[in-house]
Chains A and B, each alone.
Chain A
Amino acid sequence: MLSQSQTLASANYLLSRSCFLCTRGTSLVILDVRSGKYSTLEARYSNQVCDLVPGWPVVKVAETSSSAQPLRPEEIAEDLASANILVQKESRGKHATPVRVLVPALPLIEEYEQLETSISMREAIEFVSATLWALMILSRPFGGLGLRHLEHRCATIQNVASNCSEDTLCILEVRNVLAKFLRLRPLIWKVKNQQRLERLILLKLFEYRKIYPQWILGVAIDPLRSYSWLQWKDFVVDEAPEIVATFTPIVAF
């Protein structure tokens, strides 16, 4: 049996390192974090390149799919390569297997669950510093928070996280961090479009406690739309599971 590195070396095409994909219904959805662009590919085209790209998923074919003669696999692959979705150099490519994330069934805190929390001076200071850090990350001089930056940032965190053991973490401690954040969140000055800001603050507050949730990007189609949420193990941190369940994870930072 070939190892993954051997497969990569012998492959015709590889998925670009900046791209992520998932199947959704009868389409394949591709996200390029470098440009922040989402694309969809119908099953009849997508399935043609399964043999050319290692890990490329098979998409369910629509019952009413067109009977028109599809393009040759090489033609489709060339089109995808010209869009920088596929690459031929091993150093710039990766296995195309879609991300696997635990399906979150429960919220970390029920939306109206009332947790008794008291906030210490240290925690208030941590909240302020996390907010300043998040505002700085999102500010113009730092170029805002593109998906690529987020990927890089989260990769750094995950490196640290891999050296920590989460087994010892009690869910109560994780819930406690979130409960305190929810109490303090109204104090954030910024009013509009603060989802990303809030999520960054929350990430930082978790980081202070050596807790490392994943930042998941999910997609849905008809119409194509994306959504993101924080997930810790199989708990949704900052959203309702019903909403999260309507999206298919495409990236887990």
Chain B
Amino acid sequence: MTTYIAILWDASDSAQNAIAIDLKERTRRLRPAWCACFDNPGMFVSTEQHSGSHLDHVYRLAAGHGIILGTLFERAYVDNHAEIDESPKPVILGDSASARMVADGCTTLRDEYWGRYVAFLTAPARGRQWVFRDPTGQIPCQHGYVAGLSFYFSRLVDLEEIAPGPLRVNRHFLIGHLGPGSYSSGETAYEGITTVLPGERVEYVRGSRTTSFLWNAVQLANSNDSTTFSEARANTSRIVRRCVSAWASGVDRLSLQLSGGLDSSIVAACLATSPRKPSVLCFNFYRNEETADERVFAREVARRFQFELIECLEPPPPAIDLSTVRERTVVPTCTVPPSASWTKMHETLQSREITLHVRGDGGDELFYRDGAVPDAVDCAYYSGLNSRLWAIAMNDAMIERTSVWNILGLAIRLGLMRRRYDWRDSSWKSRLSLLCDDVRNEVLTDRTHWHPLYRGDVACAPGKLHQSHRLLYLTTRFHGFPLIPSDISIVSPLLSQPHMEFALRTPLSVLRDGARDRAAARAAFRESVPSRILNRKYKGLDAVPSGHWISGRAKEIRDVLLGGYLASERILDRHAIEAIFAKGHVLESETSHQLKAALDVEVWARNAIAHRSKSTEFAPHFTHIPMGPTLRSTVQTQ
């Protein structure tokens, strides 16, 4: 994972220059192994160099126009319709490309390149600077103010050590986290620290900061594209193959998490035909339950492509970790530590010197498995009553096992008549029973918990809007969780910008043509993926029920919840918690899910508060640099 810090300031302000010098010196002293890869007036970037990872690059723009951290590929490699039997060439940013990137404020970067990156660009003559996080969001990018200077970082520990200061817990974020989930709101669980969201561009004009979405998922989803099924099939095949090939192009061996489902099998098929033809080691995780054992499918895929397969029996899940000594993060993380099989996989990767681990994440959202509303709603929304509506409604009814009359009713109400519809996933609304009344009301009415693009009324077909929201929610979850050490890069090649754009533009009824979910993907890989997997609808490996973690530790968990931050801040309803434990309802599915979410937040908050009291003692020598105020950023869409 790319690790970095970046400091941006107004170079014409002498006070800020002095502080910047102090911070730069401190970075060099505390991170001696890092490389100060960009040091110009108004912008300083320092990054950790991982010798093992082929995805941690530093791309320098010509003429000191800035720097891009991460991995870049040229868009032409994916967009080229001709047969290509070679890996993408390494990207070198020449004078022309650099000049265009700066001239149009990262638009060239968005349109002509893709990958996973965070870009820091500067045009000193125009007094402008830009920060752009790529649309996949696979490199964390947090922002805070240090004495008025903008401080960007990927790991909290770097901020805390280089610019220490007491961080306050952000109650507003935590409330949202217990409701709709506030990862995509742009806030973090600390006051004063925000996240640059995937696709978001921050622009500085002589020190004044504004944000906008240079890559706008809603606009892409609302493009009302007229792609046919045969075009979608061909494009899916080309785009996915090229994206997977690009990610695998830098290594001779890699590992693949092969569940036996459609998405990871498609990635396996692409790896097998990629120009570099890397050696692939597959891992299949299974449990001793009928619905969580898909080894038979994983074996079939591994056999077909002659990949080595290691089957990992998931041991009984480890106990929930209620200790407050853990790696520091800007958002609450799971209280369940990584399983023994995950650790074993990591040891195997290290022993075999594999530095790239590939997963099939994002297939449900991009190939499109299911949605909140039938595809016929979108068809009626864009085209009104037309000859295709009946066929699409029949497909919906067959997929959802429901009545076509019900589908048509929804299509007319929501699509044709455009009746108001709360497209947001409403399942979270039933998960508020542990919250105090006023907190519950706040969660239900406060739209700042949502992604900025979805806070107002958005004119877009409901199905596409929901698809784009699910996709953005997925990409906003990369906050640098300590799942795996930084010497191994985890990549989800399906979640690549060209594929995301294609999937968002393509009508849902095309993606699920013929009453089959992920139909275009199934058709695109019909020759490569075993037919048993292509014909399969069922999806295995259910998550371990939350009740499992709570079972047997009810009293301890009750005490943690009632004796900490959430109770003292009057976020949790004490009576509701006591009643649940008194009546023995802790193992009920919905209740245990809520308790687990509350525990994650509580343990994180205790950790944050405990660390806060330590940190003020830890760095008294740097207390002259206080944390700046949280600025209200304006959000523009373009």
- Residues on A lying within 8 angstroms of B by beta carbon are 110-114, 182-183, 185-191, 194, 240, 242-243, 245-246
Chain B residue with Cβ nearest A244: B290
> What are 7 inter-chain pairs, A to B, with CB distance below 8 A?
A110-B532, A110-B535, A111-B535, A111-B538, A112-B522, A186-B403, A190-B403
Distance in angstroms between the alpha carbons of A111 and B515 in the assembled complex: 11
Of A112, A114, A187, A243, which is within 8 A of B536 by CB? Answer: A112
Let me know if B403 and A191 touch, CB within 8 A. yes
Let me know if B532 and A186 touch, CB within 8 A. no
The smallest C-beta distance from A154 to any residue of chain B, in angstroms, reads 23
The smallest C-beta distance from A224 to any residue of chain B, in angstroms, reads 13
Q: Does B232 contact A (CB under 8 A)?
A: no
Q: Does B570 contact A (CB under 8 A)?
A: no
Residues in A with CB closer than 8 Å to B536 are: 110-112
Q: Does B406 contact A (CB under 8 A)?
A: yes
- Residues on B lying within 8 angstroms of A by beta carbon are 289-291, 393-394, 397-398, 401-407, 514, 516, 522, 532, 534-538, 540
Let me know if A189 and B403 touch, CB within 8 A. yes
The smallest C-beta distance from B377 to any residue of chain A, in angstroms, reads 16
Residues in B with CB closer than 8 Å to A190 are: 403
Distance in angstroms between the alpha carbons of A172 and B268 in the assembled complex: 33
Let me know if A182 and B403 touch, CB within 8 A. no
Distance in angstroms between the alpha carbons of A197 and B406 in the assembled complex: 17
Residues in B with CB closer than 8 Å to A112 are: 516, 522, 534-537
Let me know if B540 and A242 touch, CB within 8 A. yes
Distance in angstroms between the alpha carbons of A243 and B539 in the assembled complex: 10
Residues in B with CB closer than 8 Å to A113 are: 535
The smallest C-beta distance from B329 to any residue of chain A, in angstroms, reads 34
The smallest C-beta distance from B97 to any residue of chain A, in angstroms, reads 44
Let me know if B522 and A245 touch, CB within 8 A. no
The smallest C-beta distance from A86 to any residue of chain B, in angstroms, reads 31
Of A111, A187, A189, A245, which is within 8 A of B537 by CB? Answer: A111
Distance in angstroms between the alpha carbons of A185 and B407 in the assembled complex: 13
Residues in A with CB closer than 8 Å to B407 are: 186
Of A111, A187, A242, A243, which is within 8 A of B404 by CB? Answer: A187
Residues in A with CB closer than 8 Å to B532 are: 110
Residues in A with CB closer than 8 Å to B514 are: 114
Let me know if B538 and A186 touch, CB within 8 A. no
Let me know if A246 and B291 touch, CB within 8 A. yes
The 9 closest A-B pairs by CB, nearest first: A186-B397, A111-B537, A110-B535, A186-B404, A240-B538, A245-B290, A112-B535, A246-B290, A113-B535
| Interface-central residue, A112, A194, A242, A246, by most chain B CB under 10 Å | A112
Distance in angstroms between the alpha carbons of A194 and B405 in the assembled complex: 14
Let me know if B289 and A243 touch, CB within 8 A. no
Distance in angstroms between the alpha carbons of A188 and B522 in the assembled complex: 28
Let me know if B535 and A242 touch, CB within 8 A. no
Residues in B with CB closer than 8 Å to A188 are: 403
The number of inter-chain residue pairs (CB within 8 angstroms) is 52
The smallest C-beta distance from B191 to any residue of chain A, in angstroms, reads 42
Residues in B with CB closer than 8 Å to A242 are: 290-291, 538, 540
Of A182, A185, A187, A246, which is within 8 A of B289 by CB? Answer: A246
Of B290, B402, B540, which is within 8 A of A186 by CB? Answer: B402
The smallest C-beta distance from B292 to any residue of chain A, in angstroms, reads 10
Residues in B with CB closer than 8 Å to A110 are: 532, 535-536
Residues in B with CB closer than 8 Å to A114 are: 514, 516
Residues in B with CB closer than 8 Å to A194 are: 403
Of A183, A185, A189, A240, which is within 8 A of B405 by CB? Answer: A189
Given pairs A111-B536, A242-B290, 7 additional interface contacts (CB within 8 A): A112-B534, A112-B537, A114-B516, A185-B398, A186-B398, A190-B403, A191-B402
Chain B residue with Cβ nearest A190: B403
The smallest C-beta distance from A123 to any residue of chain B, in angstroms, reads 17
Residues in A with CB closer than 8 Å to B398 are: 182-183, 185-186
The smallest C-beta distance from B339 to any residue of chain A, in angstroms, reads 21
Distance in angstroms between the alpha carbons of A110 and B538 in the assembled complex: 10
Distance in angstroms between the alpha carbons of A114 and B523 in the assembled complex: 12
Chain A residue with Cβ nearest B588: A223
Residues in B with CB closer than 8 Å to A243 are: 291, 538
Distance in angstroms between the alpha carbons of A200 and B532 in the assembled complex: 29
Residues in B with CB closer than 8 Å to A111 are: 535-538
Residues in B with CB closer than 8 Å to A240 are: 537-538
Distance in angstroms between the alpha carbons of A240 and B405 in the assembled complex: 26
The smallest C-beta distance from B389 to any residue of chain A, in angstroms, reads 14
Residues in B with CB closer than 8 Å to A186 are: 393-394, 397-398, 402-404, 407
Residues in A with CB closer than 8 Å to B406 are: 191
The smallest C-beta distance from A246 to any residue of chain B, in angstroms, reads 5
The smallest C-beta distance from B569 to any residue of chain A, in angstroms, reads 34
The smallest C-beta distance from B633 to any residue of chain A, in angstroms, reads 45
Chain A residue with Cβ nearest B406: A191
Residues in A with CB closer than 8 Å to B540 are: 242
Distance in angstroms between the alpha carbons of A246 and B397 in the assembled complex: 27
The smallest C-beta distance from B588 to any residue of chain A, in angstroms, reads 9
Chain B residue with Cβ nearest A247: B290
The smallest C-beta distance from B379 to any residue of chain A, in angstroms, reads 16
Residues in A with CB closer than 8 Å to B397 are: 185-186
The smallest C-beta distance from A117 to any residue of chain B, in angstroms, reads 13
Residues in A with CB closer than 8 Å to B516 are: 112, 114
Chain A residue with Cβ nearest B294: A242
Chain A residue with Cβ nearest B262: A112
Residues in A with CB closer than 8 Å to B404 are: 186-187
Distance in angstroms between the alpha carbons of A114 and B398 in the assembled complex: 12
Distance in angstroms between the alpha carbons of A114 and B515 in the assembled complex: 10
Distance in angstroms between the alpha carbons of A186 and B403 in the assembled complex: 5
Distance in angstroms between the alpha carbons of A164 and B289 in the assembled complex: 39
Chain A residue with Cβ nearest B394: A186
Residues in B with CB closer than 8 Å to A187 are: 403-404
Distance in angstroms between the alpha carbons of A246 and B398 in the assembled complex: 25
The smallest C-beta distance from B584 to any residue of chain A, in angstroms, reads 13
Distance in angstroms between the alpha carbons of A113 and B290 in the assembled complex: 22
Residues in B with CB closer than 8 Å to A246 are: 289-291
The smallest C-beta distance from B590 to any residue of chain A, in angstroms, reads 13
The smallest C-beta distance from B424 to any residue of chain A, in angstroms, reads 23
Distance in angstroms between the alpha carbons of A113 and B537 in the assembled complex: 10
Residues in B with CB closer than 8 Å to A245 are: 290
Chain B residue with Cβ nearest A198: B401
The smallest C-beta distance from B112 to any residue of chain A, in angstroms, reads 38
| Interface-central residue, A186, A188, A191, by most chain B CB under 10 Å | A186
Residues in A with CB closer than 8 Å to B291 are: 242-243, 246
Residues in A with CB closer than 8 Å to B534 are: 112
Chain B residue with Cβ nearest A241: B538
Distance in angstroms between the alpha carbons of A111 and B404 in the assembled complex: 19
Chain A residue with Cβ nearest B535: A110
The smallest C-beta distance from B375 to any residue of chain A, in angstroms, reads 14
Chain A residue with Cβ nearest B403: A191
Residues in A with CB closer than 8 Å to B522 are: 112
Chain A residue with Cβ nearest B587: A223
The smallest C-beta distance from B628 to any residue of chain A, in angstroms, reads 52
Chain A residue with Cβ nearest B393: A186
The smallest C-beta distance from B501 to any residue of chain A, in angstroms, reads 27
Chain B residue with Cβ nearest A186: B397
Residues in A with CB closer than 8 Å to B401 are: 185
The smallest C-beta distance from A189 to any residue of chain B, in angstroms, reads 6
Distance in angstroms between the alpha carbons of A186 and B538 in the assembled complex: 20
Distance in angstroms between the alpha carbons of A113 and B535 in the assembled complex: 5
Distance in angstroms between the alpha carbons of A110 and B369 in the assembled complex: 17
Distance in angstroms between the alpha carbons of A194 and B394 in the assembled complex: 17
The smallest C-beta distance from A106 to any residue of chain B, in angstroms, reads 10
Residues in A with CB closer than 8 Å to B535 are: 110-113
The smallest C-beta distance from A131 to any residue of chain B, in angstroms, reads 12
Distance in angstroms between the alpha carbons of A194 and B406 in the assembled complex: 13
Distance in angstroms between the alpha carbons of A186 and B393 in the assembled complex: 9
Distance in angstroms between the alpha carbons of A243 and B537 in the assembled complex: 12
Distance in angstroms between the alpha carbons of A188 and B405 in the assembled complex: 8
